[in-house]
Amino acid sequence: MTGLSRWWVGVAITGLVATTSVPRGWYWAAAEVRAQAGERREAGGERGEARGERREAGGERREAGGERREAGGERREAGGERGAAQTNLPARGGSLVATMRSEPRTFNPHAGRDFASTLVVGLTQARLLRVNRATQQLEPWLAESYACMPDGLSCTVKLRQGVTFSDGMPFTSADVVFSFQAAYDEKTGSPLGDALSVGGKPLAVTAPDARTVAITFPSLYGPGLRMLDALPILPKHKLDGAMKSGTLRQQWGPATPPADLAGLGPFVIQAYQPGQRLVFARNPKYWRKDAAGAQLPYLDRLTLEITPDQNAELLRLQSGQADLTQSEVRPDDYAALKREAAAGKLRLADAGVAFDADAFWFNLKPGAKAHDGRPWLSRVELRRAVSHAVNRRAFADEVFLGAAEPHWGPITPSNTTWFAPEGAIDREAYDMGRARTLLAGLGLRDANNDGTLEDAAGAPARFSLVTQKGNTALEKGAAFIRDELKKVGLTVDVVPIEVGALVDRMTKGDYDALYFRFLTSDTDPAMNMDFWLSSGGAHVWNMEQAVPATPWEKQLDTLMGQMAADRNPARRRQLFLEAQRVLSQNLPIVYFAVPRVYVATSTRVAGATPAPVRPPVLWNADAIGVAK
């Protein structure tokens, strides 16, 4: 799976697959593989009604949509200020319980990047610099300060003084150099190597003294040191021998005794009971303090209860058995949780519009089996027809029950720095007449007046749409797309499959069309180059091209290369706006709606700063605690 070398493959959300290559930029949100399997069985009657409503006359649906938009407004009002930290201050000590939907595959960031493993690493390790998930700003973390030369190629990082690992050993620049070496080590094959490279080349990292790290980039790189958020700093004294012997990737598996682990994060693993829970204890050696000078973390203990089923997870939260959950609130659960919040039983926060949206794309790989006898399947006119045929407002209202906004591209309004303003890129209006005209131009006509289009040979205009089984939003979204396209004569067969099979078919190019979600790990597009470049493993419609397959993809390569190498913010924004314009004109990937992110916690939780990312609260675990 080398083609996904900078992606967190779908199971980055659930930790069920993907232990090989993992990307800097985009990762598959194959959200909740088994975790949502039970989700489809809930509220069957209500869902049946929703499906029935979707097939009713447009006027009724628009009326329902209006009601849902009102509900969406209610949610925003109820949610409060976006991303606002809870004002109640944490007490010192105590414990909280969170849910996690899957087992960690490893405690070693160089061995895998499934979501559960990454969460454990985030709780037990630390980085030189951190991207604040609520503000998206870069912050010194293990670094006390950092500065770069005017040429942008050479940077110096000063380390905090007196920091020790959880086992008491001092943290020095040697640990930083070792951590970079581990990421680049060929025998280790770390998934972090690509995330810490520029143009396929590693950074040069040296240690002039115990508290100084010198970093040299191989070429100009716009995001600069922002990439250091991807690298947990590991203890050289624990792992150097394993790297030298070529066994680093096998270290720190789930069976490792907690006493054999060491980290710079706020917690240490106290106990792991497979299939049940992970228990974390405060790291007494943790270096960070709050504004008043009190040592963090506030909590004495944090327990992650392994709860694969989202319905069970919801019940735990409502019953007080859990204080917070792995990810955001499902749209179907919002009403019940709002009632609980109104009754003072829990807190419900609006973290804002998500940074990522579900995406639809056709297989555009030249010579793909999908195109046999159906050359129209790779035409831009078909993609434009699809975009025109789907009512995005109704999509947001029905698939996300009003808790979403119509959307057209890979950058959402939450990403204020890079989002294309109104009128800057092509945004197809809902226009079934235009969709029919585009399809007719492809030679697709309803020859026998049965409401279904056929090609010139009389074969039906039909394709399959693969999506993830067990993910409610994806399954509902695919069904909505199917029903909308049926109105313009296209026949769509929705094929829900398990995420592992889906990723396998995607990487092999064995599909007609896909509807799926992948998540960005950073808001700077230059950190997501594998999506934009034709050679990228995340260029999903036609991955890892030896040379650009189309003139517009060659243009994208050029624009993104210039943008990534430029250090002038205004020029970078202009170059990326042009790249978005090229993408919108050729439409290799289509978006319909971006959801709002609502986060629920118990009233016991204090100090939380919900963010529209996963995990929405535990990204800042050292600052949360039990309310006084």
pLDDT in tens, 466-501: 999 888 889 999 999 999 999 999 999 999 998 878
Give the per-residue pLDDT at 614.
Answer: 84
Classify residue 444: in a domain, yes or no.
yes
Residue 351 to residue 281: CA distance in whole angstroms: 28
Which amino acid would we find at residue 17? V
Tokens of 431: 């226009």
Q: In the chain, which stretches have pLDDT less than 50?
A: 1-83
Classify residue 515: in a domain, yes or no.
yes
SS3 397: helix
Classify residue 482: in a domain, yes or no.
yes
Give the per-residue pLDDT at 328.
Answer: 87
Give the per-residue pLDDT at 56.
Answer: 38
Q: What beta strand segments (E) does 274-364 contain?
A: 277-282, 301-306, 346-353, 359-362
Instruction: Indicate the number of domains in the chain.
Output: 1
Q: By residue range, what is the domain housing residue 384?
A: 2-30+362-390+430-588
Classify residue 457: in a domain, yes or no.
yes
* CB distance 297 to 625 below 8 Å: yes
Give the per-residue pLDDT at 571.
Answer: 97
Classify residue 463: in a domain, yes or no.
yes
Residue 104 to residue 112: CA distance in whole angstroms: 9
pLDDT in tens, 156-203: 999 999 999 999 999 999 999 999 999 999 999 998 988 899 988 999
Instruction: Say which CATH number the domain at 517 has.
Output: 3.10.105.10
Give the per-residue pLDDT at 86.
Answer: 59
* CB distance 270 to 282 below 8 Å: no
Residue 36 to residue 49: CA distance in whole angstroms: 20
Residue 342 to residue 347: CA distance in whole angstroms: 9
Classify residue 67: in a domain, yes or no.
no
Triad 490, 495, 499: Cα angle to 5° = 140
Tokens of 301: 């203990």
Residue 317 to residue 101: CA distance in whole angstroms: 14
Tokens of 173: 């620049």
Question: Residue 609 region, left (φ>0) first, then alpha (ψ -120 to 50), else beta?
Answer: beta
Tokens of 344: 């003072």
Classify residue 139: in a domain, yes or no.
no
Residue 360 to residue 386: CA distance in whole angstroms: 10
Q: Give residues with Cβ within 8 angstroms of 252, minimum separation 6.
A: 106, 107, 108, 111, 239, 260, 261
Q: Give me the sign of the Cα torsion angle 245, 248, 254, 260.
A: positive
* CB distance 495 to 464 below 8 Å: yes
**Residue for token pair 């007494």:** 284
How far out from the chain centre does Cα 276 lie? 25
Give the per-residue pLDDT at 5.
Answer: 36
Hey, what's the torsion of the CAs at 529, 535, 540, 542, to 10 degrees? 150
Classify residue 58: in a domain, yes or no.
no
Write b or e for each residue in 501-522: b if 16 or more Cβ atoms lie within 10 A of its Cβ, otherwise e: ebbebbbebebbbbbbbbbbbb
How buried is residue 148: exposed, middle or buried, by Cβ count under 10 Å (0-12/13-18/19+)? middle
Q: Is the peptide bond before 615 cis (omega within 30 degrees of 0)?
A: yes
Give the per-residue pLDDT at 10.
Answer: 36
DSSP for 501-530, please give it. HHHHHHHHT--SEEEE-EEES-SSGGGGHH
